[in-house]
Structure 1
Amino acid sequence: MGKSTSSLLFICNRLIIRVVSLPFRAFTSHYCSTIRENAKTRRQNRNQLLNSVRDHSKSGTFKNLDHALGLFDTMLHMHPLPSIFNFTQLFGAIARMKHYSVVVTLIRRMESFGISPDVCTLTVLINCYCRLGRVDFGFSILATILKLGYQPDRIILNTLLNGLILQGNIPRAVRLVDEMENKGYEPNVITCGTIVNGLCKIGQTDVAIRLLRKLEKRNFAQDVVLYSTIIDSLCKDKLVAEALNLFSEMMSKGIQPNVVTYNCIIQGLCNFGRWREASTLLNEMEQRKVMLDVQTFNILVDTRCKEGMLTEAKEVFEVMIQRGIEPDKVTYNSLIDGYCLQNQMDGAVKTFNMMVEKGCSPNVISYNILINGYCKSKKIDEAMRIFHEMSNKGVIPDVVTYTTLIDGFFKVERPQAALELFQNMQAYGQHPDPQTYSILLDGFWELTIAREIFSGLSAKGLQPNVQTYNIMIKGFCKNGLIVEANELLEKMDSNGCPPNERTYNTIIQGLLQHGDTAKAMKYLKMMVDKGFSSNATTAAMFIDLLSSNQVDENIRELLPKSR
C-alpha cells in the first residue's frame, strides 16, 4: 500500500510539473515579447512625435500657440529627454509666430529640467530679446556665448544689429558694424540688408540711401532685396518720383526687379491715382515674364476701391480669377470695403458670403468692415447682428469692433447703448484706445466728465491723439473757456501730437466768436505757414470782419481764393 501510494505521488508530481511548467514557459516568452513590442511602440511614438515637431517647425504649420505648447510639454516628460536640437527647432518656430516672450519663458523652463541651451538656442533667445526691445539682454546672451568659448557668427551679430536699429540706436549699430569688421567679420549682403531694412522701418530712408551710396563706393555687391526695401520705403514716404529714379538706376546696373519690387512701385503709383503709369509697369512685368501674384492684384483692387472705382476693382477681381490666382482675405476685404464705401451693403454682404463659400474664412477685419458699413448707414441693428454673428463663429471682436459700434450708437442718438457697450468691452478684456475715448468725449460732452476722461488717459498709459485734442478744444470754446482751449493747443506739440487743420480752424473760430481777433489772426498765419487752409466757416467769419474793416486787409492773402 505504501509503495503504491508513493508511486502515485511520484506520478502526480510529474503531471503537476508538466502541467505547470509548459504554460509558465509560454507566459515568460509572451511577457518578454510584450515588453519588446511596448519598447518598440514607445520608440516609434517618440520618433513620430519628434518628427512631427520637426515637420511643423520647418513648415510653420502649428494650428496655434497651444498646439506648439502641448508638444513642448510632452517633450519635457519624455524619458530620455529629447536633444537640445529638437527643443531649439520648436523655439525657432514659436519665435516665427512672434510669441517672443513665450520663447524666453520656455527656455527658462527647459533649463530647470537640466537641459542646457546650445549656441543655436541662444541665437533664438537673442532674436527674441531684440524683438521685445531688450537689446541689452541680447548683448548679455552674447557675453554668455563668449564665456562658453564660442565665437558669435554673422547671424548673431546681424540679429543684434537689427535690434539696435529697431530701437533707433543708429550710432550704436554703426559702431557694431565697425567692431565686426575689426574682428574680421566682413559685412555681407544680409548685414547690409539688415541695416537698410531697419533704417527704412524707422523712417530713416535718407540714411538708408546714403548707406547704399557708400556700398557702391566700396564696390560692395547690391542685390534686388536691398533696392526693393528702399524703393518700398520711398513709396511709403510718398516720394514716388525718387522711388522711380532708384528703380531705373537699379535696372541700369543690371539688377532685375522681381515681383516685390514691381508691387512696391505699383502701390506707390496707385496711391497717387497714377493709373496709366501703373498699367505700363504691369505690361512691363508681363513682357519680362515676372508673374503677377496675389499681392499685385490686391494692390489694384484695394486702391481702386478706395478711389471709389468699384466697377474697375471688380474687373480686376474677375481677371485675377481668370488667371487662376486665388483671392485671399485681403482681396475680399478690399472688395467688401469698396461696396461699403459706396453704401452698397447688399453687394458687400454678397461678397462676404462668396468669401465664405470659397472656403476663405472671414477674419475680424472682414467683420469690422461690414459693421462699419452698417454704422455709417445708421443701420445699427444690422451692425449688432453682424457683431453677434462673429462672436458665434468664434471670431473675437477687437477694440476696432467695439469702437465702431459705440460710434454707431452715438450716430443714431442711443448714448445709453453706447455706454453699455463701452462697459461690456472692458468686461471682455478689450482695452479702449484714444479713438474710443475720443468718440465717448464727443458723444457725451459735458465739461466735468470730459475733463475727467481726458486727464485719466495718461494714467491708463494712453496718449491723446489729435482727434481727442480737437474735441476738447471745441468743447472748451463752446463753453467760453478760450484760455483753456489756447493752453491745450500750446501743449500739443510738446506732447508729440502736432495740431492739424481742424485744430487751427476750431481755435480760430472760438477766438473770433469771443472777439479775440488779434490771436485769431496769429493762428491763421501759423496755420497757413504750416501748409493748412482755413475752412469755409473760418473764411466766412474773416470776410465778414474784412467787410466791416475790423481786421487788416492783408488777411485776405491768407484766405483761400474764391473760385
Structure 2
Amino acid sequence: MFDEIEHLVKALTLEEKRCRFSEGFFYSLMKVYGNSAGRINKAIEILFSMPEFGCWPSAKSFNFILNLLVKAKLFDEIREIFVSAPKLGVEIDGCLNILIKGLCESGNLGAALHLLDEFPKLKSRPNVMTFSPLLRGFCNKGEFEEAFRLLERMEKEGIEPDAITFNILISGLRRKGRVEEGVEVMERMKVRGCQPNSGTYQEVLYGLLDKKRNLEAGEMMWKMVSWGMRPSFLSYKKMVLGLCETKDAAEVDWVLKQMVSHGFVPKTGMWWKVVGCVVVKNKDSQEVLDRIIDRQETSG
C-alpha cells in the first residue's frame, strides 16, 4: 500500500510543527521504499527531506542509501549523492569506510573494490581503515595474491600500513597453514619501520605451535615474555601439550611457571599430560595414563 504511505507522509508534513520524528522513523520509510518497493529514488528523496522535519541523518541512514545504490550498481548516482551530502552534515570519508567494511563482511568484495576505485571521483582519499576490511576479506577467502596487491597499492598511494594491517595478513596466512610466509610478513614489517605488536607475535606463535615447531615457538614465547608481552592461554596450552609429546620436562616446567605468573590456571587435563611427561617410564603405563586422561576430559 505504497500510495497510502505517500498520503500519510504528506499529512505528516502538514503536521510537522506539532510532530517530532526520530531517525528510526525515516530509516523505516527508506527501507520500505528501497527494499520492499524497489523505489530507490524515493528512498533518496526521504533521506534529503529529513532536515525539513528537524531530524538530521547519521551515517547509518546515509550508508543504507549507499548500500542500495551499490547493490543496484548505480555508481554514478553515488557520486551525485556525495556531492550534495555535506548539507546533511554527514562525514563522507567515514561513510565510505563503513560501507566498504559492510560490503566486505557480506562477501561482496567486487563491489567493495569498485567503490575503492571511485574514491578519486568522489574527491575522497582512502586510508588504512579503508583497506583493512578488504585485506581481511581476501585473506578469509584464501586469495592472498589479491591481498598482497592491495598492500602494494597502499604503499604506492602513500598510505602507510600499520601493525593491524600486517596482522590481518599474518593471521590469514597462519589459518591457511602458510606459517613461513607469515614470518616473512613480520620481517617485512620491521624493514618498513612498522614495529610488530603483541598481536603480531601472538599470530606467529600460533603458527609455529600449529606446525609443532616447539623450539622456535619456545624462542618466540621467551621473547614475548622478556619484552613484557603476555602470551594467550591457548598458546600456553598448545606449548605445554606440544612439549609433553616430546617429553621435554625442563621446558614444560618453564612454560608452566610463566603461565601461572600471567594469571592462567592449567586445567585438569593439562596437568595429566604434564604428569605423563614427567613420570611415565614405559609404554604400558603411558597407555594407562592416556585412558585416565580420556576419562578426565570426558567428564569435564
Give the corresponding residue for 2:293: 382
The structure-2 alpha-carbon separation of the partners of 1:148 and 1:217, relative to structure 1 and needing over 3 Å to count, comes to closer
- 2:114 alignment partner, one of 210, 213, 232: 210
Which residue matches 1:492? Answer: none
Task: Give the corresponding residue for 1:307.
Answer: 211
Q: Distance in 2 between matches of 1:197 and 1:356?
A: 39
2:98 to 179, 182, 194: 194
Provide TM-score, normalisation by structure 2.
0.61
Matches within 5 A, 1:326-337: 326-336=230-240
How many residues align? The count is 243
Conserved in 2, the CA contact under 8 Å of 1:301 and 1:331? yes
- Counterparts of 2:154 and 2:188, CA distance in 1: 15
* Cα distance, 1:161 vs structure 2: 6.8
1:151-300 map, 5 Å: 151-157=55-61, 160=64, 171=71, 181=82, 184-185=87-88, 188-270=92-174, 271-273=176-178, 275=180, 277-300=181-204
Distance 1:337 1:303, change over 3 A: farther
Q: AA paired with 1:266?
A: I
Could you tell me whether the CA contact under 8 Å between 1:200 and 1:208 is conserved in 2?
yes
The letter of the residue matching 1:320 is M
Give the direction of change, closer, same or farther, for the CA distance of 1:195–1:337 in structure 2 (3 Å limit). farther
Selected match of 1:359 from 239, 263, 266: 263
Per-residue deviation at 1:260? Answer: 0.6
Following the alignment from structure 1 to structure 2, what is the Cα–Cα distance between the partners of residues 206 and 368? 46
**What's the CA shift string for 1:406-446, capped at 9, x where partnerless?**
xxxxxxxxxxxxxxxxxxxxxxxxxxxxxxxxxxxxxxxxx
Letter in 2 for 1:227: F
For 1:210 and 1:147, how far apart are their aligned partners in 2? 31
Whether the aligned pair in 1 keeps the contact of 2:241 and 2:270 (CA below 8 Å) is yes
Per-residue deviation, 1:384: 4.1
Compared with structure 1, are the counterparts of its residues 174 and 302 closer, same or farther at alpha carbon in structure 2 (3 Å cutoff)? farther
In 1, Cα distance between equivalents of 2:131 and 2:215: 34
Q: Aligned partners of 2:290 and 2:153: how far apart in 1?
A: 52
The CA deviation string for residues 125-154 of structure 1, in whole angstroms up to 9 with x for no partner, is: x9xxxxxxxx99xx9xx99xx699442333
Q: Structure 1 residues 254 and 385, CA, compared in 2 at 3 Å: closer, same or farther?
A: same
Letter in 2 for 1:232: R
Q: Contact between 1:348 and 1:370, CA under 8 Å: does it hold in 2?
A: no
Give secondary structure in 1 for the equivalent of 2:142: coil
CA contact (8 A) 1:235 1:265 kept: yes
Shift of 1:187: 6.3
Letter of the structure 2 residue corresponding to residue 296 of structure 1: T
Offset at 1:254?
0.8
Deviation, structure 1 residue 335: 3.1
Superposition deviation, residue 261 in structure 1: 0.9
2:201 partner SS: helix
TM-score by length of structure 1 reads 0.35
Identity %: 17
* CA–CA separation in structure 2 for the residues paired with 1:230 and 1:370: 42
The letter of the residue matching 1:283 is E
Aligned-residue CA RMSD (Å): 4.7
TM-aligned CA deviation for residue 170 of structure 1:
5.9
CA deviations over 1:208-231 (Å, ceiling 9, x no partner):
112211224434210011112212
Partner of 1:81: none
Residues 69-108 of structure 1: pairs in structure 2 closer than 5 A: none
Q: 1:324 to 1:288 in 2, by over 3 A?
A: farther
Task: Write the letter of the residue equivalent to 1:281.
Answer: V
Distance apart, 1:311 and its partner CA: 1.8
The Cα shift of 1:283 comes to 3.2
User: Structure 2: 5+ residue runs without aligned partners?
Assistant: 1-20, 28-34, 37-42, 277-286
**Residues 317 and 332 of structure 1: CA distance in aligned 2, closer, same or farther (over 3 Å):** same
TM-superposed CA distance for 1:360, in Å, is 3.2
Report how far residue 383 of structure 1 moved: 3.9
Contact map agreement 1:200 1:233 (CA 8 A) in 2: yes
The answer on whether the counterparts of 1:370 and 1:383 sit within 8 Å (CA) in structure 2 is: no
Partner Cα separation in structure 2 for residue 334 and residue 152 of structure 1: 52
- Alpha-carbon distance change, 308 to 189 in structure 1, aligned in 2, over 3 angstroms: same
- Partners of 1:249 and 1:382 lie apart in 2 by 52
Correspondences of 1:490-529 after superposition (within 5 Å): none
Cα distance 1:171–1:284, how it changes in 2: closer, same or farther (>3 A)?
closer
Q: How does 1:59-70 map to 2 (within 5 A)?
A: none
Q: 1:361 to 1:295 in 2, by over 3 A?
A: farther
For 1:398, the equivalent position in structure 2 comes to none
**Deviation of 1:155 (Å):** 3.3
SS in structure 2 at match of 1:215 = coil
Separation of aligned partners in 2, 1:367 and 1:223: 47
Does the aligned pair in 2 maintain the 1:158–1:190 contact within 8 Å?
no
C-alpha displacement of 1:251: 0.7
- For 2:65 and 2:258, the matched residues in 1 are separated by 46
CA gap of 1:243–1:273, structure 2 versus 1, over 3 A, is same
Could you report, residue by residue, the CA deviation over 1:274-306 in whole angstroms, capped at 9, with x for unpaired residues?
A: 62x544433342344422222111111111121
Q: Does 1 or 2 have the higher relative contact order (CA < 8 Å, sep 6+)?
A: 2
> Does structure 1 retain, via aligned residues, the 8 Å contact 2:104–2:112?
yes
